[in-house]
Each structure stands twice: as C-alpha cells, then as structure tokens.
Structure 1
C-alpha cells in the first residue's frame, strides 16, 4: 500500500486536522428543540451498529416521540436503502464508491452527503497471549493475501514467519475476516491487499463482534476489526508502515502515524438547493455535539474535533442553529 493510497483513505479528516497540537476537542452541547417527533430508519454499517444504538438511545431520551429503527448488516447495505427510500440514515465505515454515488446522481440529480461522525483505527487483532509486538503493512498483506504483491510474492502462513519462536514457530496462522457486505472488508481489501483477493482458507464472519470473539477463542488466530470492538480477550498489534511501529491510540490515529486510520460516516440525502429535513438534521446535530461524541467515546471510537464538527455542520447549513 502506498502513502498516496493511505492519504486517500483518510482524506476526509486529514484535511480537517493539522497535527496533534491542533486537536481542539471542545465541542458545544446539543441544543434541545421543542415538539420533535417522527420516525427515522438507519441501515448500514455493522462496525457502527453499537454506536448508532448509543446515539439513538441518547436522542430518544431527549425526544420520546421520536422512534429510530436501526439495522446493521454492513456498509454495502446503506446505499441501496437510501436510494430506495427505505432509510434516511446510512452509516458507513468506508466512503461510497463512484458507482454508488453515480446511482444517486442518476436518480436524484445530486450526490448523497457523507457526514464524518467519528474516527476509527482499524485494528489488527491477535489472541491476548500472542507475544507479537509489531507487524508491518507488508507482513499483513502477505498474511492475508492469496497472491501477495509485496515480499517477492511470498505468502506468510506460520507465526514463525512473523518472528515468533518456541511453540509458536510452526503453528499455522488462523485467519478471520468480515464478510463481503462489510465496509471494513472493502476497506481492508483496498488499502491492505491493494484490491487483491483474500486467502481461500480465511474464515468470514457476519459481524465485527464475531471476528473479535473468534480471535479471542483461538490462540493462533489473527483478524481485523474496528477499535471499538476491542475486548480483554484480544490484543491490537502495533503496525509499522516504515521504520517505526505505532499502536492504535488516539494521537497516533489523528496524526496518521497509525497506518489504518479511517473515518466513520453517516450518509444521507440532502438536496443542495433545499434545507435538510428537520428530524435528520437534529439527529446529526446531536451526533456531532458534545453529548453525541461522548457516546462515540463510550462506544470505543475516537471523537471528532471542533474543526470537523463546524465543517460538517456548515456543509449541512446547520451550524447557526447548533451553536
């Protein structure tokens, strides 16, 4: 994976953060409005499922006459649900593809709007007893790819090939992955495997929690999932994209030292010539407020900065009413 490809993957928040010293996390609290009611449907990311549930719970505690129905089977399900009108909210752990965006333009005459709502460090997880201290991007590709493009095309299949000794040296690496509906699967495939295929013996899981659970139950397993799904049964291994190795911490993720940083988005339909509908607008304002971002941290993800919040609310025409 090139640095150019990595930059493209996190461009949405890279452009809005200037460096660790510039992180301003002082967000305004949510401003309650009167007489809000109605129904919202959210269809999309499994990575963001718990986060959406926390946001919905917090929002509905303020507005008991609002009902939010949430379905989280994977980011690939968000665009068709928005396109058909089934959902007003489409959480995604990856940007939409050109083909997905083109379908919206063909039907509505404008592109969908992707709102950056939290930051994720896509973690490489191993069992808690695994002594692996660091893994390079090249090694990750050689572990997961059917036909590696790096390392002279040589695949890595045992823990000894990653430098582990003793009982680990000859043990085969058990591979776990999200399934093909997942935005995390697509992100990993694009930015780690450079678009290549996974090994045939990889075990696909229907959800992020299932990936982490499987790794926690198998001493010789490795897999990937969002940092919000970390448990005491697994370890997130630091990653190097050069000489230094960096863990999936807040500072390393925001400064892009950690190579698998990405944005988490809520996609929605907004005609650029018209205001956003009131209910969706208030929900987005809540998510981007101090209250909503407290829930993001509770869910294990990294909150947005004030710079990101103001940028996103300005794009939606909501900044004045949110402050």
Structure 2
C-alpha cells in the first residue's frame, strides 16, 4: 500500500519559499540534537564490572552490520576502542537488523561492496563478523547461520534499551496502556481493545480530540519493528495507515513536524521537539516512562536487550580484534561508553555472564544452544 506523507496544516499556510527555509532550519536543528543525543543525565555503571586492560600491538579489521537503533552506540564503542588500539579499523553498517541477518548468515557484507573491491573507504573487513540486532534472532535464522558456518553464533547482550512511544511535544496525551498501544498501532488488536483512530478516543481534549491519529514506524528491515510487533501487538500486524520510515532519526523528525503524529522508536532518539508517553502494562497499573530501573524491573513493558551475534573462526575460537572488542564492550570503560551513548548499561551480573561466555568461546564451547537442547553450562550460570 502506497502511503501519502501527512503535511501539517501550518506548513500549508506558509508561502513555499519561506516554508522550505523554515523546514530546512527545523530539520537541521533536529538532526543536530539527534547527533548529540548521547547526554545521559548521569546513568551509573555497576562498580563491580572489571576495567578493561588494553593489549599492546593489536591490529586488524572488523565489520559490524545490523541495527539502525544500535548504530550510534556501536559507532561510539568502535571509536573508543580504536583510540586504545590505533592500528585497528572497525566499520559499522546500520542497515537494519532484519536486512543484516542475511549478510551475517552468508558471512559477507553488501554495504560499500564496490569500495571493498576497489580497496578504499571500507574501514572494516570484507566479512561480517558481528551482527548487531535490536531483537533476539529466531531459531530459523540461527539454523540458517549454522548451515553455512557449522556452528551456532555466540549471543552477547551489550546494552539495554527501551522502545518508546513518541508524540509531538505539545500533544497533551498523558499516558497509554499496552491495550491502547495495540489498538492504535495494531490491525488485529490481539489485546482486545476497540480500534483507536482519533485522539479523543484516548482522552485527549480540545481541538485535537476530533483529529485522526497519524501513525509512524520503522520499515521492514528493522529489528525494532519486529520487536514492537512481537511484544506490543502480540505478533499482530501493523495498521495499514502507518507511514514507514527508513531510520529512527527520520521517524523522530517526522513526528516532531506533525501535531497529530505518534510513533515507536528506540528510547535514545529523544529531541526537544518530541516527548515520550508513559506506558502502563495493563489497565489499573501505573504508567511509567522508560528508564534503566524500569527496564531492569520490568515495570516498563517495552524494555529489551540489544545484542551482538558473533561469528567464530574455523577452529571455533574468536580472532584477536573481535575478541578484544568484545572484551572492551564487557568492561567498565565499555559500559561507560554505552551510558554516554544514551543507552542503558548492563548490570554486573549480566556482564559476568557475558565474560563467562567469552572465556568458553576461547575453547570453542560457547554458542547458542539448539532449541530444546539441555545445556548444563548455562543452567549452572542460573540463566534458566
């Protein structure tokens, strides 16, 4: 279905040249805010997490492909790592979790393919050793990787995040329940709520009450889209009127321009022209904004972990740059970088589990267990 972009009424009232200039200024300002969205407001990193000990003389290349949501995070992690290891190069490709799964399964990188052939502009290696995903891989996707590489990938959570519901900053909606979220965005409404198409149906007063809700979201390449459908819509389909955006930043800018807009995106993409709406897991329960504490406790219903999936070498171990980068991510300095990038750092317990997995990877034992497979190693870690 072809979607027509909604144009806010106030833009139609301004002469063309002036409107274009105003819009350009607005978009430029919003883009600058998004580029600097890494101010975290003092998120504390668990003091039990061990510091990173830099290895001298490390060199080599690494390519990471996947989540658009995770691209700002991984860009900062890669930059900090390369400061510590000047002879390394890490390329980060934010093509979307879903789009990058195929690359990871095959072990190749389609991004900048011509540059790779000509030997310029790459930064990373010619294969995708790390897949960045804002959702867990499905068993079919894992088996697709295993059929090509002979082993199951190693799953490493690297940060926590939340999918937020965004509206334009002056929208007076106070809060939403998960049933209302499903009724607004979902075609199937599996949570049992009547369809919601106008703002007045969720208690918004005044002139906005009679106005239709304009829906925005991510395109089919996005892991955030898959996560939102799975958790918020209970695997239902998105409403046909939803306008898909190729990236989180473009979606937030679109919402900021439209007083009737609502959309979902990673919590880190916050600018002054939009605000996030508190969400309640159910009717009668408190509605909360996304935060690290609310995600850890489960009080915020759209919290999630962000993952790196790891390709090992033919011996079943991790290569030098790959191993060291994962060690850095799972260190105090790495998690401080996570916080500075505007995401939620992992707990000390989560990092300890990751470190144990990475130790086992040195022996070729680590990897995602097959579905239904008894895994005593993980049971001993208390992960079940």
TM-score interval for Structure 1 and Structure 2 normalised by the shorter chain:
0.7 to 0.9
| Aligned residue in 1 for 2:304 | 262
What is the CA-CA distance between 1:170 and the residue it aligns to? 0.4
What is the CA-CA distance between 1:225 and the residue it aligns to? 0.7
| Aligned residue in 2 for 1:6 | none
- TM-score, normalising length from structure 2? 0.74
Contact 2:131 2:310 in 1 (8 A): yes
Q: Please tell me the root mean square deviation across aligned C-alpha atoms, in Å.
A: 1.8
Q: Deviations over 1:211-256 (max 9, x none)?
A: 1111111111100111111111111111111222111112111111
> What is the distance in 2 between the residues matched to 1:256 and 1:110?
33
What is the CA-CA distance between 1:272 and the residue it aligns to? 10
The reply on whether 1:247 has 2:289 as its aligned counterpart is yes
Equivalent positions of 1:240-319 (< 5 A) are: 240-242=280-282, 243-270=285-312, 274-317=316-359
Equivalent positions of 1:78-227 (< 5 A) are: 78-86=100-108, 87-151=128-192, 154-227=194-267
Q: Deviations over 1:30-80 (max 9, x none)?
A: 110011111111110000011111011101111111111111010013322
Number of matched residues? 297
- Counterpart of 1:317 in 2: which secondary structure? helix
Contact 1:43 1:77 in 2 (8 A): no
What is the CA-CA distance between 1:273 and the residue it aligns to? 6.8
> What is the distance in 2 between the residues matched to 1:72 and 1:64?
23
Contact 2:159 2:346 in 1 (8 A): yes
> What is the distance in 1 between the residues matched to 2:260 and 2:266?
20
Contact 1:123 1:225 in 2 (8 A): yes
Contact 1:288 1:309 in 2 (8 A): yes
| Aligned residue in 2 for 1:27 | 49
> What is the distance in 2 between the residues matched to 1:37 and 1:83?
25
Q: 2:63 aligned to 30, 35, 41, which one?
A: 41
> What is the distance in 1 between the residues matched to 2:272 and 2:261?
15
Contact 1:25 1:305 in 2 (8 A): no
| Aligned residue in 2 for 1:56 | 78
Q: 1:69 aligned to 76, 81, 91, which one?
A: 91
- Counterpart of 2:210 in 1: which secondary structure? coil
Change (3 A) 1:186 1:319: closer
Contact 1:82 1:268 in 2 (8 A): no
Q: Deviations over 1:185-217 (max 9, x none)?
A: 000111111222111111100001111111111
> What is the distance in 2 between the residues matched to 1:67 and 1:164?
51
- TM-score, normalising length from structure 1? 0.88
| Aligned residue in 1 for 2:275 | 235
> What is the distance in 2 between the residues matched to 1:195 and 1:251?
26
> What is the distance in 2 between the residues matched to 1:293 and 1:273?
29
Question: Where does structure 2 lack aligned partners over 5 or more consecutive residues?
Answer: 1-44, 109-127, 363-384
Question: Where does structure 1 lack aligned partners over 5 or more consecutive residues?
Answer: 1-22
Contact 2:159 2:343 in 1 (8 A): yes
Contact 1:239 1:245 in 2 (8 A): yes
- Counterpart of 1:312 in 2: which secondary structure? helix
Bigger CA radius of gyration = 2
- Counterpart of 1:246 in 2: which secondary structure? coil
